[in-house]
Amino acid sequence: MLIFDHVHFYYQQEHPILDDLSFTIEPGEFVAMVGANGCGKSTVAKLMDGLLLPKQGHVTFGNLETSNPEDLVSIHEKIGIVFQNPEDQFITTTVLDEILFGLQNIRVPREEMDQRVEEALHMVHMEDYKEAMPHHLSGGQKQRVAIAAILAMRPQIIIFDEATSMLDPEGREQVMKIMKELHRQGMTIIHITHHMDEVLFAKRLLLLHEGRIEFDGEPATFFETVNVTDYQLEKPFSVRLHQNLHLNTPLTADWKEMIRSEWNAN
Ligand SMILES: Nc1ncnc2c1ncn2[C@@H]1O[C@H](COP(=O)(O)OP(=O)(O)OP(=O)(O)O)[C@@H](O)[C@H]1O
Ligand SMILES: [Mg+2]
């Protein structure tokens, strides 16, 4: 269980970013986090992983706490972050080395490495690209390698911080598919995004506003009850379709599927 317990955070004391923020994420959840530009989403992601530390309050994962220096290595191993720009995430020259680099950092025994690399590349369908140079890959492929490098660490939580925002529609779809598959296998997924259609894949949505959680609930309820433009957000296409056509079928991310099931019910 990941717990934010009365967390306060600022970069400069006169500009508080997070103000007494508390929430809990249970193992296996698929949570979307949204909010206006600059409201502090990436800050929350970095606090989760111990890359930033709370000024007051506690961030804990099981019996580990980010403010305990001796817990940080375990926390980095258990909680991985995929960032926005795939270019910024590569340190080495081949896909294989990129994944090995992370494993060496957490001191995985040599004899265990090959299997972890194979497994991780298989999960993102990049097993044929082991010797490829990251800068020759497409944006979506790069992001899949970044995900594989994290998967090889066998984390319990993966945070995607706008990880789809620089990708073309095909790349985004591939990354969303991987997220759904990892969730299906039991991993905890936290997806920070500006793409409102993607939040419909999550089971729970957190809206961050002025340093606090303003909404915590199901995405469908969020779009029914919250005036999203107040938070610089938009209703996704499938929500507009669902509301404008007064569909009876449940709201889903896949609008074609929604129309099909409405059609079949009539
Ligand atoms: N290293 C830093 N030093 C000082 N201020 C920072 C730093 N990083 C972020 N900020 C400020 O803190 C606030 C929250 O930033 P953060 O990146 O967490 O927001 P965000 O919700 O992720 O934004 P976006 O939607 O643009 O990704 C912003 O006002 C930002 O300018
Ligand atoms: Mg951000």
Tens digit of pLDDT for each residue in 71-110?
A: 999 999 999 999 988 777 778 889 999 999 989 988 899 9
Same domain membership, residue 247 and residue 116: no
The whole-number pLDDT of residue 88 equals 76
Same domain membership, residue 259 and residue 162: no
Angstrom distance (rounded) from CA 2 to CA 58? 11
Same domain membership, residue 147 and residue 69: yes
**Is 11 within the bounds of a domain?**
no
Ligand number with the minimum distance to the CA of 40: 1
**Is 226 within the bounds of a domain?**
yes
Task: Specify the residue with its C-alpha closest to ligand 1, atom 24.
Answer: 37
Task: Specify the residue with its C-alpha closest to ligand 1, atom 4.
Answer: 11
Domain with 226 in it: 27-52+62-234
Does any ligand 1 atom lie closer than 6 A to the CB of residue 52? no
Same domain membership, residue 226 and residue 261: no
pLDDT at 167 over 90: no
**Is 102 within the bounds of a domain?**
yes
pLDDT at 111 over 80: yes
Same domain membership, residue 185 and residue 82: yes
Does any ligand 1 atom lie closer than 6 A to the CB of residue 17? yes
Same domain membership, residue 218 and residue 256: no
Bigger pLDDT: 56 vs 261: 56
Does any ligand 1 atom lie closer than 6 A to the CB of residue 141? no
When divided into structural domains, the chain yields a total of 2
Does any ligand 1 atom lie closer than 6 A to the CB of residue 159? no
Same domain membership, residue 152 and residue 72: yes
Angstrom distance (rounded) from CA 141 to CA 85? 12
Across the chain, mean pLDDT equals 93
Angstrom distance (rounded) from CA 227 to CA 76? 36
**Is 168 within the bounds of a domain?**
yes
Same domain membership, residue 212 and residue 151: yes
**Is 108 within the bounds of a domain?**
yes
Q: pLDDT grade, residue 242 (50/70/90)?
A: confident
The whole-number pLDDT of residue 91 equals 81
Task: Specify the residue with its C-alpha closest to ligand 1, atom 13.
Answer: 38
Same domain membership, residue 245 and residue 213: no
Same domain membership, residue 159 and residue 241: no
Token couple for 24: 């809990």
What atom in ligand 1 is closest to the CA of residue 162? Answer: 27
Angstrom distance (rounded) from CA 147 to CA 102? 12
Task: Specify the residue with its C-alpha closest to ligand 1, atom 1.
Answer: 11
The whole-number pLDDT of residue 86 equals 75
**Is 19 within the bounds of a domain?**
no
The whole-number pLDDT of residue 74 equals 93
- Cα angle for residues 234, 246, 194 (degrees, 5° grid): 15
Same domain membership, residue 242 and residue 158: no
pLDDT at 252 over 90: no
| Sheet hosting strand 16-25, strand order edge to edge | 16-25, 2-10, 56-61, 64-65
Same domain membership, residue 170 and residue 115: yes
Domain CATH for 37: 3.40.50.300
Closest CA to 167 of 86, 254, 253: 86
Length of the chain: 266
pLDDT at 178 over 80: yes
In sequence order, which residues have a C-beta less than 8 Å from that of residue 22 and are 6 or more positions away? 4, 5, 6, 7, 57, 213
Does any ligand 1 atom lie closer than 6 A to the CB of residue 211? no
Give me the mean pLDDT over the 144-153 stretch: 93
**Is 249 within the bounds of a domain?**
yes
pLDDT at 218 over 80: yes
In sequence order, which residues have a C-beta less than 8 Å from that of residue 64 and are 6 or more positions away? 71, 74, 75, 78
Angstrom distance (rounded) from CA 3 to CA 25? 7
Give me the mean pLDDT over the 52-80 stretch: 96
Task: Specify the residue with its C-alpha closest to ligand 1, atom 9.
Answer: 43
**Is 179 within the bounds of a domain?**
yes
